[in-house]
């Protein structure tokens, strides 16, 4: 029997039961569509995060307290680590210790609400250097002035507000400059506001409250350690050398001889990009594996329907054998039918998944105010299509063998 004839026969077998065939491939469609959706949105998220991180500058080096987190528990431990204080900052700022670093700026993070009169809002509260933060994140003043190094030294109770914070706390025509907002029952004078910018890396700068880091330590956190220290190397090429010198400086300061005993860890933008990419890829792969279960369920459905089809078409099988069809011909026919069904489900699933992924990308762009670019997952599409055909062959094999075993005489007698 020619392959062309087998294809024609298999196609006719599917066309006879169109409704049942459509329902049979539904599980395959859902599985492939989900895989395409996960792969595409994962790729979009990775490109967006990596793009944002890359935009912070290849010269950026982040020094954080505690051991590098490897899980949720260790990440929580880092939040309470106190190995970075003023003496560590002074040592890193010393050009004799880290000659490649042109600046070292501390950051103090505080989780709390800000209020004005009866209005309350929970922003991102950061103690930092205003000038460095504006340059670091590309912020612009909408009104007012920034606080100075003198304000940092004198611990002036002043703040800069993001546009969303202003909208939430003040009336539409009310000027926030000169007003006092409350954080942790302490009054802070508003001296400036930022132009709307939206999401940058891991937080929305429109929801930012920025104040001197010395003020955050004194009035908000009540301790003397920093959340992190950000170094800036004089060039991307000198980053690795700056990291080496920073590590050596802190180890000497903390009397650490074995690097495994480090009570700090350092991340560069390149290292962070690679780490984020790795996490997203692993997460995407895990979700795809979970979704792949639906392909197995769909395959079982294919097997079930094919077994029913074999039973219903017993007389047809007997007639074909009586006119010369071999067991091989019968097996090929039913295998092709199963492969056609799952292959069609794969094609439809790719189309549906692409539409969902595109819609999700557009929706996320508008909701998060990000410039997300849709990415079609070519590899996932190829893998999904190949998997759908493979599922059809694997789960269609048993029904095909059962069909080929039928005796032509008994089959012709079947009613």
Where do the DSSP E strands lie in 59-185? 60-65, 101-110, 114-116, 119-121, 124-128, 141-144, 158-161, 180-183
The structural domains of the chain, with segments of one domain joined by +, span 3-53+279-413, 82-262
Cα separation, 414 vs 411, in Å, equals 5
Query: Can you tell me the distance from the alpha carbon of 103 to that of 60, in angstroms, rounded to the nearest whole number?
Result: 10
pLDDT computed for residue 376 by the predictor? 82
Please classify residue 289 by burial: count the beta carbons closer than 10 Å to its beta carbon, then call 0-12 exposed, 13-18 middle and 19+ buried.
Answer: exposed
Place of tokens 């029997």: 1
Q: Give the SS3 label for residue 223.
A: coil
The answer for residues whose C-beta is within 8 angstroms of residue 237's C-beta and 6 or more apart is none
Of residues 392, 391, 356, 395, the one with CA closest to residue 376: 356
pLDDT at residue 248, as a whole number? 94
SS3 content of the chain, % helix, strand, coil (to 5): 60, 15, 25
170 Cα distance to chain centroid: 34
Predicted confidence (pLDDT) per residue in 333-386, tens digit:
777 777 777 888 888 888 988 898 888 888 877 776 667 778 788 877 888 888
Q: So what's the pLDDT on residue 43?
A: 75
**What's the pTM?**
0.60
Asked if pLDDT for residue 78 goes beyond 70, the answer is: no
Mean pLDDT of the chain: 80
List of residues 6+ apart from 379 with CB closer than 8 A: 39
* pLDDT at residue number 277: 66
168 or 406, which is more confident? 168
- Dist CA 128 CA 232 (whole Å): 15
For residue 73, what pLDDT band results from cuts at 50, 70 and 90? very low
Q: How many C-beta atoms surround the C-beta of residue 40 within 10 A?
A: 24
Distance CA 226, CA 78 (A): 11
- DSSP assignment of 125-145, as one string? EEEE-HHHHHHHHT--EEEE-
- Rounded to whole angstroms, the Cα distance separating 182 from 189 reads 9
| Mean pLDDT in residue range 141-161 | 94
CB 84 within 8 A of CB 410: no
Q: What angle do CA 330, 331, 335 make, to 5 degrees?
A: 120
Sign of CA dihedral 251, 253, 256, 261: negative
């Amino acid at each position: 029997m020619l392959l062309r004839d087998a294809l024609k026969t298999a196609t006719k077998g599917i066309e006879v039961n169109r409704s049942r065939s459509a329902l049979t491939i539904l599980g395959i469609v859902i599985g492939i569509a989900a895989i395409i959706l996960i792969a595409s949105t994962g790729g979009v998220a990775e490109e967006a995060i990596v793009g944002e991180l890359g935009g912070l500058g290849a010269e950026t080096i982040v020094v954080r307290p505690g051991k590098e987190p490897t899980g949720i528990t260790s990440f929580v431990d880092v939040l309470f680590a106190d190995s970075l204080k003023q003496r560590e900052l002074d040592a890193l700022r010393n050009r004799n210790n880290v000659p490649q670093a042109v600046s070292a700026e501390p950051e103090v993070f505080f989780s709390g609400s800000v209020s004005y009169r009866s209005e309350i809002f929970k922003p991102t509260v950061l103690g930092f250097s205003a000038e460095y933060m504006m340059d670091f994140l590309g912020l612009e003043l909408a009104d007012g002035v920034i606080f100075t190094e003198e304000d940092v030294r004198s611990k002036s109770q002043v703040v800069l507000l993001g546009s969303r914070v202003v909208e939430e706390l003040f009336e539409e025509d009310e000027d926030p400059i000169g007003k006092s907002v409350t954080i942790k029952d302490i009054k802070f004078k508003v001296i400036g506001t930022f132009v709307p910018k939206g999401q940058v890396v891991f937080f929305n700068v429109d929801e930012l409250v920025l104040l001197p880091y010395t003020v955050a330590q004194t009035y908000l956190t009540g301790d003397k350690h920093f959340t992190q220290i950000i170094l800036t190397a004089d060039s991307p090429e000198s980053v690795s050398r700056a990291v080496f010198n920073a590590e050596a400086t802190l180890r000497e300061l903390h009397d650490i001889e074995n690097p495994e005993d480090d009570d700090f860890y350092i991340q560069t933008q390149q290292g962070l990009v690679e780490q984020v990419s790795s996490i997203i890829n692993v997460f995407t792969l895990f979700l795809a594996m979970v979704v792949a279960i639906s392909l197995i369920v769909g395959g079982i459905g294919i097997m079930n329907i094919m077994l029913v089809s074999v039973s219903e078409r017993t007389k047809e099988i007997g007639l074909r054998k009586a006119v010369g069809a071999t067991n091989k011909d019968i097996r090929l026919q039913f295998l092709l039918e199963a492969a056609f069904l799952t292959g069609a489900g794969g094609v439809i699933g790719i189309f549906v998944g692409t539409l969902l992924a595109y819609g999700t990308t557009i929706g996320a762009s508008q909701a998060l105010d990000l410039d997300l670019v849709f990415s079609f997952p070519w590899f996932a599409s190829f893998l999904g299509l190949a998997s759908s055909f493979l599922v059809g062959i694997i789960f269609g094999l048993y029904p095909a063998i059962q069909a080929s075993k039928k005796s032509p005489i008994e089959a012709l007698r079947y009613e």
